[in-house]
Structure 1
Amino acid sequence: MAGDTKKGGDDIIGIEGRSAAEIADSLRTLVERGALRPGDALPSVRALAEQLGVNRNTAVAAYRQLTNAGIVVTRGRGGTRVAGAASVAQEGFAAETALRDIGTGNPDARRIPDASVALASIARRPVLYGEPVIDPDLDRWARGWMSESLPNGTPMRLTVTSGAADAMERLLTQALTRDDAVALEDPCFLTSIHTVRVAGYRPVPVPVDEEGMTVAGLRSALDQGVRAVICTPRAQNPTGAGLTARRAAELRAVLREHPYVLVIEDDHYSLLSQLPYHSLIDAGHRRWALVRSVSKFLGPDMCLAVTASDPETADRLAMRLTPGTTWVSHLLQRLVHALATDPGVAAGIRAAGEHYAERNAVFAELLTAEGLPTVPCDGLNVWVPLGAPARAVSEQLMRRGWLARPGDEFALGDHGPSQHLRLTVHDLDDADLRKLAADLAASVRTAQANDRVASRAGPEVR
Structure 2
Amino acid sequence: MHRHIEGTTASEIAESVRSGIDRGILQPGDALPPVRALAESLGVNRNTVVAAYRHLAGSGLVVSRGRGGTRVAARTVVAQEGYATDSALRDVGTGNPDPALIPDASDALARAGGHPVLYGEPVIDPGLRSWATAWMSDATNASAGRLTVTSGAADAVERLLAQALTREDAVGLEDPCFLTSKHTVQVGGYRPVAIPCDDEGMTVAGLRDALAHGVRAVVCTPRAQNPSGASLSAPRARELRDVLAEHPYVLVIEDDHFSMLSTRPFHSVVPVGHRRWALVRSVSKFLGPDMCLAVTSSDTETAAGLAMRLTPGTTWVSHLLQRLVHALMTDPQVRTRIGEAAAHYAARNTAFVHLLTAHDITATVPDGLNLWVDVECSAEAVVTQLMRRGWLARAGDDFAVEAGATPSRRLRLTVHDLDDADLALLASDVGDAVRTVRVRETGVA
Superposed CA offset, 1:254-294 (max 9, x none):
11111111100000111100000000112211110000111
Q: 2:260 aligns with which of 241, 266, 271?
A: 271
CA contact (8 A) 2:346 2:367 kept: yes
Instruction: Find 1:14's aligned residue among 2, 5, 29.
Output: 5
Are 2:359 and 1:386 equivalent residues in the alignment?
Answer: no
Query: Which residue of 2 is the match for residue 4 of structure 1?
Result: none
**Cα distance 1:350–1:157, how it changes in 2: closer, same or farther (>3 A)?**
same
| 1:295 is the counterpart of 2:275 | no
Shift of 1:450: 2.1
Shift in Å, 1:438: 1.4
Cα distance in 1, alignment partners of residues 374 and 43 from structure 2 = 46
Partner of 1:459: none
C-alpha contact (below 8 Å) 2:95/2:414 kept by paired residues: yes
3-state SS in 2 of match to 1:225 = coil
Question: 1:105: which partner in 2?
Answer: 95
Instruction: Report the CA distance between 1:79 and its aligned residue.
Output: 5.1
71-80 vs 83-92, greater mean Cα deviation: 71-80
Are residues 229 and 323 of structure 1, via their aligned partners in 2, closer, same or farther at CA, if it must alter by over 3 Å? closer
Question: Which runs of 5 or more structure 1 residues have no equivalent in the other structure?
Answer: 1-6, 456-462
CA 353–44 in structure 1, closer or farther in 2 if over 3 Å, else same: farther
SS of the aligned residue for 1:248 comes to: helix
The one of 141, 161, 185 equivalent to 2:174 is: 185
Matches within 5 A, 1:278-357: 278-322=267-311, 325-357=314-346
| C-alpha separation in 1, matches of 2:166 and 2:439 | 48
- The 5-angstrom pairing of residues 105-124 of structure 1 reads 105-124=95-114
Structure 1 56/290 Cα, relative in aligned 2: closer, same or farther at 3 Å? Answer: farther
| 1:95 alignment counterpart | 85
Q: How far apart are residue 22 of structure 1 and its match?
A: 4.0
> 1:277, 1:135 → 2: CA distance?
26
Q: Is the 8 A contact 2:6 2:12 kept in 1?
A: no
Equivalent position SS for 2:144: coil
Say which is worse superposed, 258-267 or 140-149, in terms of deviation: 140-149
- 2:161 matches 1:172: yes
Change in CA separation of 1:100 and 1:200 when aligned onto 2, cut-off 3 Å: same
Q: What SS does the aligned partner of 2:159 have?
A: helix
Q: Is the 8 A contact 1:182 1:204 kept in 2?
A: yes
- Residue 220 of structure 1 pairs with residue 209 of structure 2: yes
> Retained in 2: the 8 A contact 1:263–1:287?
yes
2:177 and 2:47 map into 1 onto residues whose CA distance is 27
Per the alignment, residue 206 of structure 1 pairs with: 195
Cα distance in 1 between the residues matched to 2:148 and 2:141: 19
Alignment of 1:437 with 2:427, yes or no, is yes
- Contact kept, 8 Å, 2:60 with 2:191, in 1: the verdict is no
1:367 aligns with 2:322: no
Q: SS state of the match for residue 147, structure 2?
A: strand
Matched, 1:395 2:384: yes
How far, CA to CA, are the matches of 1:47 and 1:347 in structure 2?
69
Matched, 1:409 2:413: no
Amino acid at match of 2:219: I
Q: 1:223 to 1:130 in 2, by over 3 A?
A: same
Pick one of 145, 153, 157 that aligns with 2:146: 157
Q: Does 1:72 align with 2:62?
A: yes
Question: Could you give the per-residue CA deviations for residues 138-178 of structure 1, whole angstroms, max 9, x where no partner exists?
Answer: 011101111222249x6310000111111111111111111
> Contact 2:62 / 2:72 at 8 angstroms: preserved in 1?
yes
TM score, norm. by length of structure 2 = 0.94
Q: 2:135 aligns with which of 129, 142, 145?
A: 145
Distance 1:400 1:12, change over 3 A: farther
Unaligned runs of 5+ in 2: none
Aligned to 1:425: 415
Q: Counterpart in 1 of 2:244? A: 255
Shift of 1:26: 2.4
Instruction: Call closer, same or farther: CA 1:219–1:80 in 2, change over 3 Å.
Output: same
1:366–1:67 distance in 2 versus 1, CA, 3 Å = farther
Counterpart AA for 2:256: D
Give 1:224 shift.
Answer: 1.2
Matched, 1:131 2:121: yes
Cα distance, 1:113 vs structure 2: 0.9
TM-score (norm 1): 0.90
Q: Quote how far apart the aligned CAs of 1:323 are.
A: 8.6
Cα distance in 2, alignment partners of residues 240 and 44 from structure 1: 44
Deviation at 1:72, TM superposition (A): 3.5
Question: What letter is aligned with 2:285?
Answer: K
Q: Distance in 1 between matches of 2:113 and 2:45?
A: 65
| Count of aligned pairs | 443
Give per-residue Cα distances to partners, 1:424-459, cap 9 Å, x unaligned: 111111111111111112111221222236x9xxxx
Q: Is the 8 A contact 1:12 1:42 kept in 2?
A: no
Contact 1:155 1:311 in 2 (8 A): no
3-state SS, counterpart of residue 320 of structure 1: helix
- For 1:184, what is the secondary structure of its paired residue? strand
Q: Distance in 1 between matches of 2:293 and 2:26?
A: 40
| Separation in structure 1 between the aligned mates of residue 419 and residue 319 of structure 2, nearest angstrom | 39
Structure 2 CA distance for aligned equivalents of residues 321 and 37 of structure 1: 36
- In 2, the alpha carbon distance for the partners of 1:198 and 1:323 equals 19
- How has the CA–CA distance of structure 1 residues 68 and 303 changed in structure 2, closer, same or farther, with 3 Å as cutoff? farther
Cα separation, 2, equivalents of 1:324 and 1:80: 39
Counterpart amino acid of residue 5 in structure 2: G
Classify the secondary structure of the residue corresponding to 1:24. Answer: helix
Give, as a single letter, the amino acid of the residue that structure 2 aligns with 1:115. A
Partners of 1:429 and 1:46 in 2: CA distance? 62
How much does 1:379 deviate? 0.4
Q: Is 2:4–2:20's contact at 8 Å kept on the other side of the alignment?
A: no
